[in-house]
A and B are shown apart, each in its own frame.
Chain A
Amino acid sequence: MDASTIIEILNSSVRLATPLLLACLAGLYSERAGIFDIGLEGKMLTAAFFSAAVAVASGSAWLGLLAGVVSALALSGLHGVASITFRGNQLISGVALNFLAAGMTVLVAQSWFGQGGRTPSLQAGARFTPVDLPFARALADTPVVGPVYSGFVSGHTLLVYIAVLAVPLTWWVLYRTRLGLRLRAVGENPGAVDTAGVSVIRLRYMAVAICGVLCGIAGSHMATALQAGFVKDMTAGRGFIALAALIFAKWRPWQALGACLLFGFLEAVAVRYQNLSLGGITIPVQLMDALPYILTVIILAGFVGKAIPPAAGGIPYSKEA
């Protein structure tokens, strides 16, 4: 395996990890604030569709991104109304949103474009294209620095950089700002926040909104950067894998980055080596494709140490003395 193959696999790991990472951070904000969200999948899917549809119609990737974010925010709003204002069951609300997204995207796509529930392929201007970082061209032929900087660090779409920068930003918000302190507190003991004179409801809506924005970017990335358009069920369970990564990371941002990169790497390997031969035995492609899901099962079964979720997670808040 030569250096360029390694760089290639790493590049594709990062690209594939990006939607996971954005969704994982989205879940982190929501769950840290005490709102469980298994609707990440549905929000991503909805955002993927609307970003693709608007990008097709307008020819602008940016308008597509905006549409994706707004549509995911709308679903977040529904989840918020159901689980914060009306104190409904957060799991049921999330499941409902997933069904809504799976059905609605295909239905609307069929009605708008008539191509069997998909959008037409996006033209160049309607997609996010790789950006070259400064000096990437100039340094391309330098040994070591060249392949690493020009080959790996540079040349991703903007959304990839946004996702990666969201990690330190999330850490900073969570542990260094007033908002972060309150978000963490409201997920552990909303009574403490309420009696301190801070609105539990407003904080939780804020967390759910941030979750919507990040899911929106994640979905847009899938439809307008990773691929060129929307196809049915294109998120393929990534919202659930992001939840697994979130548990794996024990609801912490840097660890979330690590977990998502691991999942991205497994996916990249599966894509690269469709029929991997190891010492004469050919590993079937189905097994390679299943790797991320197998890892998800292992994580959720609790084989990676005890993960303690925020204490008030999933419980609607009501005042009592």
Chain B
Amino acid sequence: MGAPGAATRGQTAPAIELRGISKSFGPVQANRDISISVRPGTIHGIIGENGAGKSTLMSILFGFYRADAGEILIHGRRTAIPDSQAAITAGIGMVFQHFKLVEPFTVLENVILGAEEGALLRPSLRRARRELLRLEEEYELQVDPDAVVGDLSVGHQQRVEILKALYRNADILILDEPTGVLTPGEADQLFRILARLREEGKTVILITHKLREIMDITDTVSVMRRGEMTATLKTAETGPEELAEYMVGRKVLMRLEKNPARPGKPLLEIENLRVTDDSGVERVKGISLNVRAGEIVGIAGVAGNGQTELLRALGGYAEATGTICIGGKRVPLSGPGADGGARRRAGIAHVPEDRHREGLIMAFHAWENMGLGYHDRPEYRRGIFIDNAALRQKTEGRIRRFDVRPADPWLPAGSFSGGNQQKLVIAREIESDPDILLVGQPTRGVDIGAIEFIHRRIIALRDAGKAILLVSVELEEVLSLSDRVVVMFDGRIMGERQAAATDEKELGLLMAGVAQGDPA
């Protein structure tokens, strides 16, 4: 449990102390009686599933929301934080998951925005340049002050966010899911920066749902579940299993159990596939790849390296050149016959990366969504009409088999949680009995309990002799689920490894575009 009493023991007051913070949005209680206390000069992790209330708590700390009850103490002094300005004045800096940067501006302009000295820019910019260079030196955060932010890599944009906070004299830095968009290499660099900040006496709060990050970098960790703080522990005295249990509220199998693959003949053969996006940029630059029956091929890579376009081309909703053979038969890649319906009839099922835009229609009932893409199948048809009763009956069975909660086919898709929405999509696609399953980001925004379930269903499909192509930006997921791993970088395949014979470090280098044998 949180230990507010700890505050009085040491000589130094905690950098941040929360006492009994509660916040609800309508009937939803996002935070319930939360108390934590973070010692200065430490890295404190806050871990919890999506929707556990982590972000709400941090938004309260940064003045985005006002707590319904409770108080905030900064360095022992009770502090009201009605808006972001108050948070900044109190020495709190926040690095949001989605960066708050003005892309057409330079680094320097982004840094001074809101912290300008006077009505004219020139003196502010001059002083900021000196100060920025000093900060970059002190914290080893090199960025060109005159670079346009939109041209920087994601990792460097994040540095700009940290520099913004430091420029405002933040001594408490909150980072919300900071590694979601980084390569493993960039994430390691970020952790080095955080360690450096700790050395300089800054207090860091790291919000994440990744257990490994908590174990790697934090000194203490708090676990949140359903709006409550379920535990606060010293990181050295706990482990991933215990944390996962606190997060989910029950024992979770951390290692995925699976038998070795017994691959059969190739079901999906891709030869020199090229995909050009709407703005004329070639995103997939000649990919050749086979997926055999009874194996899972995982595609690893940082988001935006052509994986999305590859999936779309395979699924039939982006035109491409090259060849795709399904079960030995060539399918058209453009013009008539190159659409999602034709691909589904050819034996491909597709769990799209973005279930909100491509997987479900949020305003439709669960059972209506169950027919999407398959409504022309004989079992759902009665003459020229859709057989709604058959669809509803099918949906009830799937909801039961896939443990969708709440088990109500009449609920609109948008009313389910992320994990349950994903279960609906996966149930629809797996139970359509495909030969080949394309899965994009199967567990994005899905909580740990559901992740385990979804992974088991994918493996069961493999063991039933189907070919599975998995795309995920979660390297851990690709590694644990796949039999073979292919790394994409800049629209090309950087390398292929047997999942059992590689590790995150090797794949991380490939993901960063460093070919084998190159100096890292």
Contact = CB atoms under 8 A, between A and B. Distances in A.
Interface string B95-139: 011101111110001101111101111101000000000000000
Contacts of A196: 84, 88, 100, 113-115, 164
B59 A192 contact: no
A289 interface: no
A191 interface: yes
Contacts of A194: 84, 100
Contacts of B97: 321
Interface string A187-205: 0110111111110000000
Contact of B124 (A178, A188, A198, A319): A178
Given A178-B121, A191-B100, A193-B114, A321 B59 contact: yes
Given A181-B109, A181-B113, A196-B100, 5 more contacts: A178-B124, A189-B102, A194-B100, A197-B83, A311-B103
12 contacts: A175-B121, A176-B120, A177-B121, A178-B121, A181-B113, A185-B113, A191-B98, A193-B113, A194-B100, A196-B100, A319-B64, A321-B62
Interface in A151-204: 175-182, 184-185, 188-189, 191-198
A321 B99 CA distance: 10
Nearest to B84: A197
Nearest to B115: A196
Nearest to A312: B102
Ranked nearest first, the 10 interchain pairs of A and B with the lowest CB-CB distance are A196-B114, A197-B85, A192-B100, A321-B59, A178-B116, A195-B100, A191-B100, A198-B114, A197-B84, A185-B102
Contacts of A185: 102, 105, 113
Interface residues of B, number: 36
B94 interface: yes
A89 B118 CA distance: 35
Interface of B: 55-56, 58-59, 62, 64, 83-85, 87-88, 94, 96-98, 100-105, 109-110, 112-116, 118-122, 124, 164, 176
Contact of A321 (B83, B96, B113): B96
B249 to A, nearest CB: 24
B26 to A, nearest CB: 16
B114 A188 contact: no
Interface of A: 175-182, 184-185, 188-189, 191-198, 311, 319, 321
Contacts of B96: 191, 195, 321
Contacts of B94: 195
Contacts of A319: 59, 64
B114 A321 contact: no
Contacts of B83: 197
B103 to A, nearest CB: 7
Contacts of B55: 321
Contact of B119 (A178, A189, A191): A178
A61 B189 CA distance: 66
Nearest to A191: B100
A185 to B, nearest CB: 5
A178 B115 contact: no
Contacts of B87: 197
A8 B105 CA distance: 43
Nearest to B83: A197
